[in-house]
Amino acid sequence: MADFAPAFQDIASDAADPDADFGLPGWTYRDPEFYRLEIERIIRPSWQIVCHASDLAEPGQWRSIDYIGESVIVVRGEDGAIRAFTNVCRHRAMRLVEGHSGCARKFVCPYHAWTFETDGRLTGVPMKADYPALVLADHGLALVAVELWHGFVFVRLTDGGFPSVAEMMAPVEAEVAAYRFAEMQRIGDLRLRQRALNWKNLGDNYSDNLHIPVAHDGLVRIFGKSYEIGAHRWVDRLKGDLVDRPSGNFWERFYQTHLPDAPHLPPVGRRRWLYYKLWPNMAFDIYADQIDFMQWIPTGPTTCELREMAYALPDDRRAMKLARYANCRINRVVNREDTWLIERVQAGMASHSYGAGPIARSEVCLRSFARKVRSLIPEARRHQPPPPGWSAQTMAMTGDHA
Ligand code: FES
Ligand SMILES: [Fe+2]
């Protein structure tokens, strides 16, 4: 795997950042050179969620994630351990598996039938004696780092010095524990949606608080004034508490009045919608009835893929099923409103008239994210793009390999 490791020094506070009062400039949401740098310095060395351990309940069960030109398989081995490998045969680089999930006793390459165990060892090569350079022990599948956090499986292509998921989530650990994530099971299929948006636009909007009262009437009806945001160093926390006054909207009112009790949660959590946005490109949406994760995977300077899966504690009550359905109906509207907004923000970012906009003190999550990006790619301080070719020199100096 690539061995690039940025000398990452997070600017820990706005006081140390001369550009703290500005958002990221528009050109960083469309520039191909900036995109290449952020892939190498932000996405490749960061943790990416793949699935939940319950999606890999049996030995041989696997899930995959495709991002930034890599395909990574996570699989439970015969010994019960969860490992990750690149989905690349060590002979002629053929993809070993196709699709997003499956179950395999062994991975047999469809090209020339090399056989790999679920722990990655290469154990079968037809006409083995015909390969002078072949050493079975050296040609197992390429390992990728894995972290398990409260039952969720994360992978990371390179170590760029970012903290572990557990370290990033430490400030919210006490709150998370009550939800019993590790006992949850998937309640829907993997959902992938392509968006003509720079990935940062998705994330910025996710933790943008000022648009809630302007653009989301439904959230205002169900949260009242209870919506709050906060930024820890690596995780943002957002929350709204359901108000009792019945909404005029059918599904909102249904959810308000029919959400079953969740006795495993502390009283304050039972009627709370809680969101964690984790550096750099994912979030957990946490409700008393279900949770989901969502990640926005860059696929180009102005395109990304939304990847989502939903989970819940086992609960067959009809009332719970209906509450989950009502939740989806409410959030479908919120998503539509957000998509409408950020498509237009992306279009605005294409204009050369836009440099960088001032951000309010209260926009703590936008500030936190922009500060990190500026730490990793100092050119993000410039309100207009450097002349074309600017990234080549930067990359050569810092050892980026793209
Ligand atoms: S490419 Fe996999 S066996 Fe040849
Ligand atoms: Fe929104």
Could you report the per-residue pLDDT of 128-173, keeping only the tens digit for each? 999 999 999 999 999 999 999 999 999 999 999 999 999 999 999 9
Which numbered ligand comes closest to the C-alpha of 331?
2
pLDDT digits 0-9 by tens, 29-48 = 999 999 999 999 999 999 99
**Which residue among 96, 107, 114 is best mutated to probe the pocket of ligand 1, counting the most ligand atoms within 8 A of its Cβ?**
114
Per-chain residues with Cβ under 5 A from ion ligand 2: 338
64 pLDDT tier (thresholds 50, 70, 90): very high
Q: Is 112 in the pocket of ligand 1 (CB under 6 A)?
A: yes
Ligand 2 centre from 17 Cα, in Å? Answer: 27
Pairs from 267-272 (Cβ < 8 Å, separation ≥ 24): 268/241, 269/175, 269/178, 269/179, 271/241, 271/242, 272/239, 272/240, 272/241, 272/242
Which protein residue has the closest C-alpha to ligand 1 atom 4?
112
| Ligand 1 center from residue 125 Cα (angstroms) | 9
Evaluated on CA atoms 318, 323, 327, 330, the torsion sign reads positive
Residue 220, pLDDT > 60, answer: yes
pLDDT given for residue 271 in this prediction: 96
> Closest ligand 1 atom, CA of 90?
2
| pLDDT, position 13 | 76
pLDDT at residue 8 in the model: 54
Q: What 3-state class would DSSP assign to 350?
A: coil
Which of 85, 86, 94, 95 maximizes ligand 1 atoms within 8 Å of its Cβ, making it the mutation to test the pocket? 94
Nearest ligand for residue 91 CA: 1
Q: What is the pLDDT of residue 9?
A: 59
pLDDT tens-digit series, residues 184-209 = 999 999 999 999 999 999 999 999 99
Above 60 in pLDDT, residue 316?
yes
Answer yes or no: are the C-beta atoms of 277 and 233 closer than 8 Å: no
Q: Which of 109, 131, 139 to mutate to test the pocket of ligand 1 (most atoms within 8 A of CB)?
A: 109
Instruction: Give residue-wise pLDDT tens across range 366-398.
Output: 999 999 999 999 999 999 999 999 998 777 777
Average confidence score pLDDT of the chain:
95
| Residue 340 near ligand 1, beta carbon < 6 Å | no
The pLDDT assigned to 43 comes to 98
pLDDT > 80? residue 121: yes
Instruction: Give the C-alpha separation, 302 to 81, whole Å.
Output: 38
pLDDT of 11 reads: 65
Q: Classify burial at 325, counting beta carbons within 10 Å of its beta carbon; exposed 0-12, middle 13-18, buried 19 or more.
A: middle
Closest C-alpha to ligand 1, atom 3: 112
Confidence of residue 257 (pLDDT cuts 50, 70, 90): very high
Which pLDDT does position 34 carry in this prediction? 98
Q: Which token pair is 162?
A: 């970012």
Span 48-147: which CATH code? Answer: 2.102.10.10
Nearest to 193 by CA among 302, 100, 283, 303: 303
Ligand lying closest to the C-alpha of residue 92: 1
Atom of ligand 1 nearest to the CA of 92: 1
Residue 5: is its pLDDT beyond 50?
A: no
> Quick one: tokens of 282?
């994912």
- pLDDT band (50, 70, 90) for residue 7: very low
The CATH number assigned to the domain with range 12-44+196-382 reads 3.90.380.10
Nearest ligand 1 atom, CA 93: 1
Cα of 145 from ligand 2 centre, angstroms: 33
**Is residue 1 over pLDDT 50?**
no
Indicate if the pLDDT at residue 320 is higher than 60. Answer: yes
Distances (CA, A) of 321 to 261, 269, 315: 13, 19, 8
Nearest ligand to the C-alpha atom of residue 275? 2
109 in contact with ligand 1, CB cutoff 6 A: yes
Q: Is the CB of 131 under 6 A from ligand 1?
A: no
Mean pLDDT of 84-100: 98
Q: Please give the average per-residue pLDDT across 273-294, as a whole number.
A: 98
Supply the pLDDT for residue 396.
Answer: 76
**How far does the centroid of ligand 1 lie from the alpha carbon of residue 80, in Å?**
27
φ and ψ of 331, to 5 deg: -70, -25
Q: Report whether residue 212 contacts ligand 1, using a CB cutoff of 6 Å.
A: no
What is the CA(111)–ligand 1 centre distance, in A?
Answer: 5
Banded pLDDT at 343 (limits 50, 70, 90): very high
**Residue 111 CB–ligand 1 contact under 6 Å:** yes
- Mean predicted confidence (pLDDT) in 101-110: 98
Which ligand has the minimum distance to the alpha carbon of residue 216?
2
| Domain ranges across the chain | 12-44+196-382, 48-147
Confidence class of residue 262 from pLDDT cuts 50, 70 and 90? very high
Least confident of 3-12, 140-149, 270-279: 3-12
